[in-house]
Structure formats: structure tokens, C-alpha cells
Amino acid sequence: MYNILIVKYGEIGVKGKNRYLFENKLVKNVKNMLKPIGKFDVYKEYGRIYVNLEDHDYEEVAEEVRKVFGIVGVCPAIRAEKDYDKLKELALQVLEEKIASGAKTFKVESKRGDKDFKFTSQEMSIDIAGFLVSKVHDRIGVDIRKPETKIVCEYRQNHVMVYSDTIPGYGGLPLGTNGRAMSLLSGGIDSPVASWMVAKRGMEIEAIHFHTYPFTSEKSQEKVRDLARILSKYCGRLRLHKVNILEIQKAIGMNCNDEEMTIISRRFMMRIAQAVAESRRCDALVTGESIGQVASQTIQGLTCTNASVTMPVFRPLIAMDKTEIIDIAQKIGTFETSILPEEDCCTVFAPKKPVTKPRLERIEKSEEKLDVEKLIQDAIDNIEVEDIEF
């Protein structure tokens, strides 16, 4: 029945003279999202974006389109040649479907795109509603205040269109309209969610993962690849930089206080991430830190971590509870992979009593015992890079 999708966007609509840039990017991103299903005609028309469905299942296509950042809703619709009687017949088709699915009340909303048409929008609604009631009789009631379903009828310059449901999207801004960021991606719950949230604001994402193979297994790295693969569904092809920091953590363990292991390791990770980010022309780092969640994420710990880099660090989860983070992880499909029981480099070398209120001057004093630059360069020289697609 449905032959077209209406793609609704949010913030893009207030972008002024630059609006067309965001719209063009959104059209491109929708086409890319749909490539695994087939080649679709995605286009702009009269300030809207449409996807022609042809013979494809509208539910399958709409489910993919709604995942594209920048889209707030997707409406399956029936589009036909410009004819008012045809518009009423299409409205009846949609209403019959709603009655079959159990709807008890409805109302009609109309939009008159052709200002030369004899009826106003309100007059259209009254006329079409009267026609529908005469056809369905008492099988469904009319409720103009709180209807279970709305039948939206549009009489536009070149066509007519009817739709009812709006499938919610994730909103945000089109991917690729706000620069590039390097995300520190672990195998946990938080960092994939943080990556997704920053990508939702239009930033292209690359990922860097730190491991201590052979102390951590190949399975732990495969877990991270799986998370990157899930993220690539939303973020497009994702470049994953894999860094072995075993020698760094050994050096810290032999030369520094045990309780400082986590903070100093974290500072090394941030420095390496910044170096790789700069080489990849990234504008910021992204972490999954949430204030107070673990010992290294106290305000003092975050201060020490920040002091190791000059690049902006985005922490989209900083004020979120774990339950809120888990809810998003489940929604985007990373949760089940994140909770698989594989160790990461932080848990393998975690001290029994990590310092919770580190002082920067003491941490920097401890780092003087290490050949920081050489340890960093050795790790960078042995980075493995992999491009991951969904």
C-alpha cells in the first residue's frame, strides 16, 4: 500500500542559508544507509526529503532510515497523481488499515499546498472526514481532541499524499557536518554509547582501542571489533586503531606507586590518542567517562587526565547514571556485546586500592621515573589499523 517515505528532520530546519548543505548531506547519508537493501531514489522536494519505496517492504526500509542521524521521524505514505477524489480514496485505505489494527477513534488533518484549490485546509478536513464516516459507519469513532490515529491528507502542487504513523528517529545532525573525533573505545558499556552520542551530533568517528595482548586475549579484541561493527551501522565505515600498551603498563608497575597505575595508564592512553587523532586530522577526543563512576573518574582523576593532553575531550556521559547509559546501549544494540565477560587492559593491571584523589604534581613526579616519550613512540610505531563496516 505505502509507496513512499516522508523523512522529517529537526534542527536542520533552522540552519538558515546553510540549510541546503545539511539537507544534501542527509540525503547522501540515507542513501548510504539503504545500500545493503538496494538502490533507492532519495530526493528533496518542496523543503522535504522523500524515499521512493517501489516494491520494497516499507517497514524494513523505514527501520533503516530512522537510524540516520538528523532524522526525527519517518512517515510511510501513499502518494498519487493530483486528484481530490483520489485523495479521499487513499484516506479511506489508510483508515481501513487502522480499523483492522484495532484503532477506536480518528481525526483528519489536512494540508493544502495548492492555494488555488477551492477548499481551505480546515474545509478539506471536514469534507474528507465526512466522506470517511459515511464509508466506515460506526466501526470507528471521531475524536478531534485525543484520537488514537490521525489521517493526514495533503493536496499539493503536483500530487496528493496520505499518511498516518510517524516512526521516531534519533534526531541530531547529519553525520559528517561537524568535524571528526577520536573515540577511546573499550569493550565496556560506556564508550560505545559515548561514541554514538557524539556521532549523533554530526561528528565523524574514528576509534582507538588499548589492549595488553597476550595478557588480554584475542577474544577481547574481537569483542571491540564487534562493537565497532555495530557502531558503523550508525557512523559509517569506522577506522579502528589498536594499540598494545603492555610495555607501558609494565614500566608503570615497576617504577611507580601501585595505587597510581590506573591514572598514569590513563594519561598515557590520552597522549597516544591525541597523537593518533592529530595525525588523522581529528578535532577532539571522546571518552565514556561518567563522574564518580569508578576510582579514576573522580573530579581529581579527570583533572589529572585532562592535564595530559591539549586537545578538547568530549565526555557526553559525564552526568549520566549507569541505568541511563544502559538504556541507550540497549536501544542502539551494543549492550549484549558489551557485557560479554572479556577482560580489558584496565582490569588486568588494576591496583587493589587505586588512588581516588590524585594530585597532579605527584602524578607528574612519578612520571619522571619513566621514559614517557619513548614508551609512547614505541606504542604508536606498532599500532594496527583496521577499517570496519557493518
Amino acid symbol at 228: A
C-alpha separations of 84 from 62, 162, 320, 379, 388 in Å: 27, 12, 51, 69, 50
**Is 149:99 a contact under the CB 8 Å cutoff?**
no
- DSSP-H helix ranges across 256-321: 261-279, 299-306
Coil, strand or helix at 347: helix
According to the annotation, is 314 in a ligand binding site?
Answer: no
185 is in an annotated binding site: yes
Nearest to residue 128, comparing CAs of 95, 97, 159?
Answer: 95
First-residue to last-residue Cα distance in the chain: 30
Helix (H) or strand (E) holding 214: none
| Secondary structure letter of residue 144 according to DSSP | S
Answer whether 69's CB lies under 8 Å from 173's CB.
yes
SS3 358: coil
∠ at Cα 157 (156, 158), nearest 5°? 95
For residue 161, CA distances in Å to 56, 99, 140 come to 18, 20, 22
Closest C-alpha among 278, 246, 240 to residue 385: 240
Question: What residue type is 60 in one-letter code?
Answer: E
* Single-letter amino acid, residue 322: K
184 is in an annotated binding site: yes
Binding residues: 184-185, 209-210, 266, 288, 297
Binding residues for ATP: 184-185, 209-210, 266, 288, 297
